[in-house]
Structure 1
Amino acid sequence: MILVTGATGTVGREVLGRIGPGPAVRAMARQPERVVAGRGTVEAVHGDYDDPGSLARAVRGVDTAFLVTSRVGRDDDERFLAAARSAGVRHVVKLSAAAVEDGGADDLITRWQRGNEEALRGSGMEWTLLRPRSFMSNALSWTGAVRAEGVVRGLYGTSPNACVDPGDIAEVAVRAFGEPGHTGRVHTLTGPEALSAVEQTAQLSVLLGRPLRFEEWDPEQARAVWGARYPEAVAEALLQSAERQRAGAKAGVGSTVADVVGRPARSFREWAGEHLTAFGPR
C-alpha cells in the first residue's frame, strides 16, 4: 500500500492524480473529506501530526509513504517517521527543498529541512529525497491583484528562479514509488529555464491577452507583507531566501525531471496556460 500525506496540498493532490492502477492507495489529510482522488480506489483517512493515534492508523499496512510537512520548526517529520518505523513501512519518499544543498543557505526554513532529511536518513527505512526549486504554482498568490488591478507585486522582480511544475515533482515521486533505482537517491528538481517574476508576468500577459505590469517591493514592504502572513522568523527566512535568489543561487537548471520521467520538464508557459482561469474574471 502507498500512503500519500498532505493529500489535499499542492503536490500531494498531484501525486494522487498520477498513481496508476495496481497498488492500494491511502490518502492522509486533516480534512479527508477534501481529498480528490485521481482513481476510484483511494482510501481517505484523517491524519494529524499532533495526534499519534491518527498517524498509527494512517501508516498501518503501508509499504511506501510520500511525506510532506509544512509547519516550519515543528517535529512533524520525527513523529511521522516514528509511527512509520513502528508499522513496518519500508520506503519513505520525502518532499524537501533545493536550498538544502546550498552551503550559503542558513535560514530557519532551510535548517529545518536539513534536520528533516537527517531524521529520515537515520530512520532505518529506505528513503528518497525530492528537492524541488520553487513551485510554479506560487504564482497563484498573484491572482487577486491580477484580476482586480492587472498587477503583480514582489521583491527583486528581475531575479531568476528555475521554478518547477508541481506536477513534475509528483511525476518523479510516483516513479520513485514503483521503479527500482530511487532508494538512497536525492533528486533535485527544476523547471527547464530560470525565469524572473517580471518575465513570468510578461508571459501571463500574453496568455491572458491583456496588459499586466510588475510593481517592485522594497525589502521593508516585503517584510511587512510576509510578516502579516507568517511568524516573524519565517518572514525573515523568506527575505534571506530572496536575497540568495537575487545573487543567482536559484538560477541553475538541472535535467533530473527529464532523466526520471523521460520527457522535458514543463515550462512556466505550459503551467500558466492550464491555470488561466485562476487569473481571469471571477
Structure 2
Amino acid sequence: MILVTGASGTIGRHVVQLLRQSGQPVRAMTRARPGHAMPPGVDVVQADFEDPASLRRAVADVRAVFLLTAPATPTPDHDLALLTEARAARVGSVVKLSAIGTGERFGSATVGAWHQTAEDAVRTSDLSWTVLRPSAFASNCLHWSGAIRAGQPVSNMTGDGAQGVIDPRDIAAVAVAALTDPAHAGKTYTLTGPELLSVPDQARQLAEVIGRPVVSVDVPSTSASQQLLSSGMPPAAVEATVIGTAWARAGHNRILTEDVATVLARPPATFRDWAQRHREAFIGTP
C-alpha cells in the first residue's frame, strides 16, 4: 500500500491516478471528503496532520508515503507529525515534495525555511527517502483565469525573473517513479520544465493559445506584501511568499535541469503543452 497525502490537490491527484494505472494499491489521505471522484479501487482515508490518531490509521500497513503538506501558515510540523507515525508503523520509504531553492540564503532570509527543516527530518528519519524540489508550477496560472476571462491584467510578482516552469503532471510522474523504484532512494531531484520563462513570457504564450490578449502588470515586492495581506493571507505565509518571489525576481531561479528527463526517459512537457490542455479555463464566461 502506498499512502498519498494531499491526494485531492494539484500534484496528489495525479500521483493517485498514475499509481492506480500502474496497478499499485493506493490509499488517498484527505482532510475532508475529496472534491472529485477518486479512481476505482483507491482506499480513501480522512486524516488531519494535527490529529495523531488519524495519522496512525492513515499509515497502517503502508510501505511508502508520498509526503505533500500545504499548511496555510508555513510550518514543518505537519511533515514531522506524519514522519513520527510513519516510523512507528515501520513504513519503508518516503518521497517528500519540497520546492526549488530550499535552504538558499537570500539577503537575511532563507528560501523555503520550513521545507528545509522538513527535508532534514526526512533525511534523518531512518526511512528510505527521495526529495523532489520542483520549480514554479504551470498550474499557478490558473489563478489568472478569472482576470483573463474578464479582460483584466494579471499580477506579476516576479518581474522579468525567468523560471523553469513545470507541468504538475511531470512532478507527479517523477514522484511515482520514486515511490515504486528503489533506484531513486537517497536522491534529491530539482525538477524543471524545458525552458526558462518569465511571467510576461507565459502571458504571451497563453495569449497565443487562447487567441486573446493577456497583459501582465508588475507588482513590486514593496506592494506585494500589502496586496497579499489584504487578500486575507496569514502574515507568515505572506512573508514566505514575498521572500520566494523576490528571490525569483532577482534571477536566482534561472535554473534548468535534466532530472525529469533522466527519471522519466522523456523530455518534460512545455508550458505551451500545459496551456493547450487547460485552454477552456481561460476562455469561458467571466
Alignment TM class, shorter chain as reference: over 0.9
- TM-score normalized by the length of structure 1: 0.94
Partner of 1:272: 275
Match of 2:139 in 1: 137
Residue 99 of structure 1 aligns with an amino acid whose one-letter code is G
Q: Quick one: distance in 2 between partners of 1:156 and 1:10?
A: 22
2:18 aligned with 1:25, yes or no? Answer: no
Which residue number in structure 2 is paired with residue 4 of structure 1? 4
How many aligned residue pairs are there? 281
Runs of 4+ displaced beyond 2 Å: 20-23, 32-37, 101-109, 218-221
* Distance change in 2, residues 1:251/1:109 (3 Å): closer
Kindly state the Cα deviation for residue 59 of structure 1 after the two structures are TM-superposed: 0.5
Distance 1:111 1:179, change over 3 A: same
Deviates more, 1:211-220 or 1:122-131: 211-220
CA 1:32 to 1:214, structure 2 compared with 1: closer, same or farther past 3 Å? same
Q: State the SS of the aligned residue for 2:150.
A: helix
**Aligned ranges 1:18-97 → 2 under 5 Å:** 18-19=18-19, 20-34=21-35, 36-37=37-38, 39-71=39-71, 72-97=74-99
1:193 paired residue among 186, 195, 206: 195
Structure 1 residue 153, shift from structure 2 partner:
1.6
Q: Residues 138-177 of structure 1: matches in 2 within 5 Å?
A: 138-177=140-179
2:8–2:34 Cα contact (<8 Å) kept: no
Percent sequence identity is: 40
C-alpha distance after superposition, 1:62-87 (max 9, x if no partner)? 00110011121251111101111111
Can you list the C-alpha shifts for 1:15-43, whole angstroms capped at 9, x where unaligned? Answer: 11211343211000012343533x41101
Give the aligned CA root-mean-square deviation in angstroms.
Answer: 1.7
Structure 2: gaps (5+ residues):
none
- Residue by residue over 1:232-276, the C-alpha shift from the partner in whole angstroms, topping out at 9 and shown as x without a partner, is 232122222222212211111000000100111111110111111
Aligned letter for 2:234? P
CA distance in 2, matches of 1:106, 1:129: 25
**Corresponding position: 1:224 with 2:226:** yes
Q: How much has 1:163 moved relative to structure 2?
A: 1.5
The code of the aligned residue for 1:29 comes to T
| Residues 67-121 of structure 1: per-residue CA shift (max 9 Å, x gap) | 0111212511111011111111000001011111534486466111100011111
- Counterpart of 1:27, as a letter, is A
Deviation string, structure 1 residues 112-160 (Cα, Å, up to 9, x no partner): 1100011111111111101111111111111111111242222243221
Q: 1:178 aligns with which of 180, 184, 193?
A: 180
